[in-house]
């Protein structure tokens, strides 16, 4: 198994990042990841004012895929996600949706046992292992790993999990794939500013799709097709994700625009991935049973 260790990280996705590993299409690679805090939080008594904010949201990589050229699509199948036995969740003043109501920052360390996050003696949450940050290099300007955009990045979509295939645009030779910011548990919205942040390992299989145009990023799961979009304005993000699904249906399923709109209105769910990053992320989920896939 090819591996990239967690000491090989980037804090922005950039066309100038040097690849740490080169592989052929069809290869499987294990990414060892830091948590979103770069390992700086290990106790509920740790202080926010001591954090090095330049070390937040590290992504392991980047990985260069031989033969990937601008205009191609990078296919990333999430084969396996392994997580640590405890994680940290934070919230506080000026953080997240309710930051204006909170007077101080707080940290909760949550143990993970038997596929369950032990939030308290009475509240046990089933784990939902997912990848918060995953993306490729943008075409020109570097983008912080804390920001989602057309290249992927910090989408914080809880459906980027084991068994799905994420499709991303190739903007530069090799694609330069990087990922990190694993969550053991996170609900849609991530309203408090964090999920249950954990370190871990992710195994992916990468491939290249040539000669095809799709409204990226997209997720293909066992039962759903999903379009994703990010924008500073939540309404705009919703519009973009819906328009992307319409584009997919009209080009790939040969539906007329009005038919695609009707199908989405009747059969697809519009969901908020996160509302706490510099750009908010929305996904549209359409069951595959309504398509030819």
Residue 124 CB contacts under 8 Å (≥ 6 apart), including other chains: 116, 117, 118
Cβ-contact 171, 121 below 8 angstroms: no
The Cα-based distances of 122 to 4, 43, 125 in angstroms read 38, 21, 10
82 SS3 class: strand
Q: Could you read off the pLDDT of 203-257 as tens digits, one per residue?
A: 999 999 999 999 999 999 999 999 999 999 999 999 999 999 999 999 999 999 9
Q: For residue 185, name the pLDDT band (cuts at 50, 70, 90).
A: very high
Which residues are CB-neighbours of 286 under 8 A, at least 6 positions away?
A: 224, 225, 226, 245, 249, 263, 264, 267, 268
| Domains in the chain, CATH or no CATH each | 2-209 (2.60.120.580), 221-290 (3.10.28.20)
Contact 165, 159 (CB under 8 A): no
- pTM score: 0.97
CA gap 137, 203 in Å, rounded: 20
Q: What is the DSSP code string of 41-69?
A: --STT--GGG--GGGSS-EEEEEEETT--
φ, ψ of residue 19 in degrees (nearest 5): -65, 145
Q: What tens digit of pLDDT does each residue of 133-177 get?
A: 999 999 999 999 999 999 999 999 999 999 999 999 999 999 999
Query: How far is the C-alpha of 226 from the C-alpha of 269, rounded, in Å?
Result: 10
Q: What is the pLDDT of residue 49?
A: 66
Q: 43-47, 102-106, 148-152, 261-265: lowest mean pLDDT where?
A: 43-47
Question: What's the pLDDT tens digit per position in 106-123?
Answer: 899 999 999 999 999 999
Average pLDDT on 34-60 reads 85
């Amino acid at each position: 198994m090819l591996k990239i260790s967690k000491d090989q990280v980037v804090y922005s996705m950039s066309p100038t990042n040097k690849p740490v590993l080169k592989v052929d299409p069809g290869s499987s690679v294990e990414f060892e990841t830091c948590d979103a805090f770069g390992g700086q939080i290990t106790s509920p008594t740790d202080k926010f004012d001591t954090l090095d904010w330049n070390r937040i949201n590290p992504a392991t990589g980047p990985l260069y895929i031989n033969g990937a050229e601008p205009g191609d699509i990078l296919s990333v199948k999430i084969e396996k996600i392994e997580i640590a036995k405890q994680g940290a969740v934070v919230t506080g003043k000026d953080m997240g949706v309710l930051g204006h109501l909170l007077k101080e920052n707080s940290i909760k360390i949550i143990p993970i046992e038997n596929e369950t996050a032990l939030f308290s003696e009475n509240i046990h949450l089933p784990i939902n292992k997912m990848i918060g940050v995953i993306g490729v290099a943008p075409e020109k300007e570097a983008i912080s790993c804390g920001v989602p955009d057309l290249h992927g990045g910090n989408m914080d979509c809880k459906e980027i999990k084991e068994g799905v295939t994420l499709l991303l645009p190739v903007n530069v030779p090799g694609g330069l794939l990087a990922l990190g910011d694993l969550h053991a548990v996170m609900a849609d919205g991530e309203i408090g500013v964090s999920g249950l942040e954990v370190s871990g390992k992710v195994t992916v299989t990468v491939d290249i799709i040539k000669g095809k145009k799709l409204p990226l990023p997209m997720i293909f799961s066992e039962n759903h097709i999903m379009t994703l979009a990010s924008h500073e304005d939540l309404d705009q993000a919703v519009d973009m994700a819906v328009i992307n699904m319409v584009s997919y249906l009209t080009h790939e399923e040969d539906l007329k625009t009005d038919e695609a709109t009707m199908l989405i209105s009747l059969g697809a769910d519009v969901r908020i991935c996160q509302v706490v990053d510099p750009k908010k992320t929305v996904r549209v989920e359409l069951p595959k049973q309504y398509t030819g896939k």
